[in-house]
């Protein structure tokens, strides 16, 4: 039986980073299960989950440490078995607003106060059409307990500031998430 292991890494962006990590995982008998990798400001960072036999985790950790000589910083964390399923729904929140300091803090604080869990968050800054100002854009996948209405989540975020436009999409039906 394989143990889930989460790896995080960051280093200078260059060709071959993902291949180097995937070679170490495969050489230790691991299976690449899921990942999120991105280039940001000249750095390449990622988080990934692999499945590997318990007795090979030490070998994998040692193999990945070799890559640190190339400038990668890598963390290996043994993960818990699959969590108990939580009932609730998955919402996708799309935000667009004028860029301002603290917008991520304000949005995430409002979601936390509601008891909503962020499962995935991606954001960026882009140039506003016609004005040349900066727009903040984010896409957030949320796990929302059954006792919280989707409309309540949307209204709470919209109340943060008049300049935030919110598009809220409810995924198909009530779901159980990890």
Task: Give the model confidence (pLDDT) of 81-90 as tens digits.
Answer: 666 677 899 9
pTM metric for this prediction: 0.78
Considering the domain architecture, whether residues 49 and 93 belong to the same structural domain is answered as no
What average pLDDT does range 149-153 have in this prediction? Answer: 91
101 pLDDT above the threshold of 50: yes
Tell me: the pLDDT tens digits for 30-71? 999 999 999 999 999 999 999 999 999 999 999 999 999 999
Q: Choose the final residue of a domain: 57, 78, 99.
A: 78
Domain that holds residue 29: 2-78
User: Given strand 73-78, what is the order of strands in its sheet?
Assistant: 31-40, 43-53, 2-12, 73-78
Considering the domain architecture, whether residues 108 and 73 belong to the same structural domain is answered as no
CB 5 within 8 A of CB 50: yes
Q: Is 104 exposed, middle or buried (0-12, 13-18, 19+ CB in 10 A)?
A: middle
Tokens 């809220």 -> residue: 168
69: enclosing H helix or E strand: none
103 pLDDT above the threshold of 90: no
Q: How many domains does the chain have?
A: 2
Tell me: the pLDDT tens digits for 23-37? 999 999 999 999 999
Q: Choose the final residue of a domain: 30, 56, 78.
A: 78
The distance in angstroms from the start CA to the end CA of the chain is 20
Considering the domain architecture, whether residues 95 and 173 belong to the same structural domain is answered as yes
E-assigned strands of the chain?
2-12, 31-40, 43-53, 73-78, 86-98, 117-127, 134-144, 164-170, 175-177
């Amino acid at each position: 039986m394989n143990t889930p292991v989460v790896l995080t890494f960051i280093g200078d962006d260059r060709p071959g980073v993902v291949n180097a990590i995937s070679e170490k995982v495969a050489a230790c008998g691991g299976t690449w299960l899921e990942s999120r990798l991105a280039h940001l400001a000249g750095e390449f960072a990622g988080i990934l989950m692999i499945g590997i036999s318990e007795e090979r985790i030490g070998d994998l950790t040692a193999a990945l440490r070799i890559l640190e000589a190339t400038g990668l910083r890598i963390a290996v964390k043994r993960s818990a078995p699959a969590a108990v399923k939580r009932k609730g729904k998955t919402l996708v929140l799309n935000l667009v607003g004028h860029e301002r300091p603290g917008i991520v803090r304000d949005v995430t604080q409002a979601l936390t106060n509601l008891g909503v869990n962020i499962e995935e968050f991606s954001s960026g800054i882009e140039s506003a059409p016609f004005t040349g100002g900066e727009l903040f854009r984010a896409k957030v996948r949320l796990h929302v307990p059954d006792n919280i209405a989707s409309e309540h989540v949307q209204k709470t975020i919209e109340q943060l500031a008049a300049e935030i436009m919110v598009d809220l999409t409810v995924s198909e039906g009530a779901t159980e998430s990890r």
